[in-house]
Amino acid sequence: MKKILCIGSVTTDVIVTPADSIPTPGTLRYVNSITTHVGGCASNAAIDMAKIGVPVALSCKVGCDSFGDFVKKTASEAGVDVKGVLQDPSVSTTVSIVCVSSTGERSFLYNPGSTSAFVKEDITPDVYDDCDIVFVAGINLLSSFDGKPCAEFMAEMQAKGKYTVADTAWDSEGIWLPKVKDVIPHLDLFMPSIDEAIKISGKETPDEIADFFFELGAKNVIIKVGKDGAFICEGGKARYTLPTYRKIKPKDSTGAGDSFCAGFLSGLACGWDYERSGRFANAVGTHCIMEIGASTGIKSMDEILHFMEVTPLE
């Protein structure tokens, strides 16, 4: 089985549910739960893959604080190779306050901290040498790595024969395309969510978006289309949408896109084709939304495959 390296954003998520509105100043409101989890695109995906049973390493930056210790300990206990998790005393660990509404939708209060300080030089050869797939997770949040540094790194990884993959996060700065344009030509697979893909490309339909990314040089494109599943576009092949398990009501959609990526890359690590990997990825994403927290609901590969056998899509 191939080993995967996850690079990029990592947070400690403090999840509040339900949080349908913020109390007015000077008042207090009860909620059902406040829990702490490891979050962030790269750490979510890495922990998910480890729980699935795929060899995975994590490269990111955290602070020398209790949140950073929590991230490293949690990832390690899940089975992630954490030698690439750098603790930097000059920064604080990135933290998100995740407000989960009564319908399962999320909004965030975000302190960028260590994620914005992550740089290309933080990724050392001992971290990536034994990895076959290199996945940059959370482009648009990596202020010091986005753009040219990321493009240079992914070009280097392709030259070493590694399979390069990236996804994106929401760009609160509103810059969008300039942060990814140089990176896309060095990607074997680009898989943003539909909302982010629309912002990056300026296009509306998945077909138009895929064409835009292919013109920029992506070799393959997957667009995550939420409750509708995933739009799969292999270079030079027919395009198709893989439906997901729409009848399962979400408890919390935190990390759903990251878990899809984790499931898809787990399939590639096993040598599966895009269609089989995509169907598995949808099932992993469904497990994510069944529990509170980005990785809480993720099961082993055998358990998820069994779920796929016994659970109808519609």
pLDDT of 168-189, one tens digit each? Answer: 999 989 999 999 999 999 999 9
Segment holding 8, helix H or strand E: strand 4-8
Domain membership of residue 24 (yes or no) is: no
User: Do the domain assignments include residue 269?
Assistant: yes
Q: Would you state the structure tokens that stand for residue 202, as one six-digit string?
A: 């300026």
Mean pLDDT score of the chain, rounded to an integer? Answer: 95
Q: Please give the structure tokens belonging to residue 34.
A: 């406040």
Alpha-carbon span 191 to 265, nearest angstrom: 11
pLDDT in tens, 101-121: 988 787 889 899 999 999 999
H-state helical runs in the chain:
41-52, 66-78, 113-117, 125-128, 148-159, 177-180, 194-201, 206-216, 256-269, 274-289, 301-310
Rounded to whole angstroms, the Cα distance separating 261 from 167 reads: 8
- The pLDDT value recorded for residue 96 is 87
User: Is-contact 17 31, C-beta < 8 A?
Assistant: yes
**DSSP-derived pairing of the beta strands 133-139 and 4-8:** parallel
- Per-residue pLDDT band for 292 (boundaries 50, 70, 90) equals confident
d(CA 254, CA 245): 17
129 domain residue, yes or no: yes
Q: Is residue 136 assigned to a domain?
A: yes
Structure token digits, residue 193: 């969510």
Residue 117 burial by CB count (10 A; 0-12/13-18/19+): exposed, middle or buried?
Answer: buried
The CATH number assigned to the domain holding 78 equals 3.40.1190.20
Q: Does some domain include residue 27? A: no
Total-model pTM: 0.92
Q: How far apart are CA 275 and CA 257, in angstroms?
A: 17
CA distances from 98 to 14, 46, 213, 215 (A): 6, 20, 31, 36
| Residue 74 pLDDT | 96
Q: Which residues pair with 34 in a beta bridge?
A: 16
* CA nearest neighbour of 97 among 10, 20, 12, 8: 12
Distance separating alpha carbons of residues 99 and 97, to the nearest angstrom: 6
Between the alpha carbon of residue 23 and those of residues 17, 19, 28, 86, 99, the distances in Å are 14, 9, 6, 37, 13
pLDDT band at 254 (very low <50, low <70, confident <90, very high): confident
Residue 314 has pLDDT above 80, yes or no: no
User: Alpha-carbon distance 77 to 311, whole Å?
Assistant: 30
Mention every residue, 6+ apart, whose C-beta is less than 8 A from residue 98: 13, 14, 15, 16, 39, 106, 107, 108, 254
Tell me whether residue 13 is in a domain. yes
Q: Is residue 278 part of a domain?
A: yes
Q: Which tens digit of pLDDT belongs to each residue from 255-275?
A: 899 999 999 999 999 999 999
Its domain, for residue 231, covers 4-19+32-310
Q: What's the whole-number mean pLDDT along residues 267-294?
A: 96
What does the DSSP 8-state code read for residue 36?
A: E
Establish if 211 belongs to a structural domain. yes
Q: How far apart are CA 41 and CA 31, in angstroms?
A: 26
Structure confidence at residue 133 as a pLDDT band (50, 70, 90): very high
Question: Tens digit of pLDDT for each residue in 47-80?
Answer: 999 999 999 999 999 999 999 999 999 999 999 9
Q: Stretch 214-228: mean pLDDT, rounded?
A: 96
Number of domains in the chain: 1
**Would you call 218 helix, strand, or coil by DSSP?**
coil
Structure tokens, 276: 């089989």
